[in-house]
Amino acid sequence: MGDRVDKLEEQMGDMKGQMGEVKSTLQMLVQQMQQHSLTMSEVSKQLGLRSTNQTANQTTNQTTNLVSENSEGESSQVESRLAGKKVKLPVFEGEDPVAWITRAEIYFDVQNTADEMRVKLARLSMEGSTIHWFNLLLETEDDLSWEKLKKGLIARYGGRRLENPFEELSTLRQTGSVEEFIEAFELLSSQ
């Protein structure tokens, strides 16, 4: 009986040693993640994109929370989840430029995108024939700004930015379904 107890104590000692090694390895990984976070933050600032420091800190905090020591020195898992929706820059294929511009501006606001980066990122979202139009616009415009791009998109792809949408609203009549009328009304009233 005494041998079994001694053997169990020896195994427990080995397990505690292994747990200590795991803990020190995890701490080293957390430090490396923090260093990578700082590097990514510096690169992000240089590119004018939103700082990844907040996201990296969230990841580091979650990793730290996943392995925490309780009063007996044993590791326990703590549930941790990322909140929020992943935001992507929408693709533009030549239809409804006003809606695309609205969604792109939301993306740029969420990402804290600098004005000079907006045109470059917008170029990535062009699909089909729109990329050819965009390339031509870049060649003809000396200093293409986001505002110029928005006006160009609306002019080329038929956005309905009206000078006075109230005139058209006052003459709007239901000719089809109620849903079609509501869509037409919302389109005009949003301008």
Pick 187 or 151 by higher pLDDT.
151
Residue range 143-157, pLDDT digits in tens: 899 999 999 998 888
**In the block, which residue shows the tokens 């005139």?**
167
Q: Residue range 50-79: average pLDDT?
A: 44
Largest Cα separation within the chain, whole Å, is: 97
Residue range 90-144, pLDDT digits in tens: 999 988 898 899 999 999 998 899 988 999 999 999 999 999 999 999 999 888 9
The whole model's pTM is what? 0.46
Cα–Cα distance, 119 to 185 (Å, whole number):
31
C-beta separation of 137 from 150 below 8 A: no
